[in-house]
Amino acid sequence: MLIQNHIVDLPTPTGTMRTYVHRPNTAGAFPAILFYSEIFQQTAPIARAARFLAGHGYAVLVPEVFHELNPIGTVLGYDDAGKDKGNADKGAKPVESYDADNRAMIDYLGQQDWFNGHLGAMGFCIGGHLAFRAALQPEVKGTACFYATDLHTNTIPNQPGQHTLERIGDITGEMLMIWGKQDPHIPPQGRAQVYQKLTDAKLSFTWHELNGQHAFMRDEGDRFDPQLSSLGYQLAFDLFSRTLR
């Protein structure tokens, strides 16, 4: 399926949020996926992943997750400087601000004739956490979280009662949780904590721990695992075909 790409700048309570839209280049209405990047925003690997999803019949929106903290269009490098800036941004943005970002994208989608009303979310790294956060929105029916960082910590600032796992009872859709067993950012005890919260909340979810490192889905760098990446996409497409089609 051929795709098209364009940019939309959405107003939010904390400023303009540039959002990259990748969708099928054909007539019709399609399910949409809110796709959340790593701390580096829409890098080339994230753009390729979004276009890959779009080519399977989805409208994919990639927001600049730290739009309040950077000039529009900022892409951080996969280097120490980019990592330091991205981690600083992660620690500076309250988790509640992402709720307003999600609402801005959902409201935008509701105005588009190419959106059929079926909505999912997906993300890598902090984007996995932000996809989990998006699942708090009642419109989100299926969510794929890849090695979601900081669900088990308080690294991302939040007000009392607003930590993402504290809001888990608001989730109504199905969750897909995928982890790398060799990922030092989410150790076994952290994964166990998330698993227990999902179980206690009686959510509909599947859980996969793969023999991969952090960022094994990123098709750049020495941690990329093509075989695991293929499996990850297969699991995500299975989720979305069941919940969004």
Q: Alpha-carbon distance 17 to 106, whole Å? A: 13
Q: Alpha-carbon distance 104 to 111, whole Å? A: 11
Q: Alpha-carbon distance 241 to 236, whole Å? A: 9
Q: Tell me if residue 214 is catalytic.
A: yes
Q: Of these residues, 125, 129, 150, 225, which one is catalytic? A: 125
Which residue type sits at 173? Answer: G
Q: Of these residues, 67, 118, 214, 225, which one is catalytic? A: 214
Q: Tell me if residue 183 is catalytic.
A: yes
Give every strand in the sheet of 115-124, ordered side by side.
3-12, 15-24, 59-63, 30-36, 115-124, 140-146, 174-180, 205-210
Instruction: Give the CA-trace dihedral at 20, 186, 144, 60, to 10 degrees.
Output: 10
Q: Tell me if residue 145 is catalytic.
A: no
Q: Of these residues, 101, 150, 183, 225, which one is catalytic? A: 183
Task: Give the angle 87-93-95 at the CA atoms, nearest 5°.
Answer: 110
CB 125 within 8 A of CB 214: yes
Helical packing angle, 126-134 and 95-109, nearest 10°: 60
Active site residues: 125, 183, 214
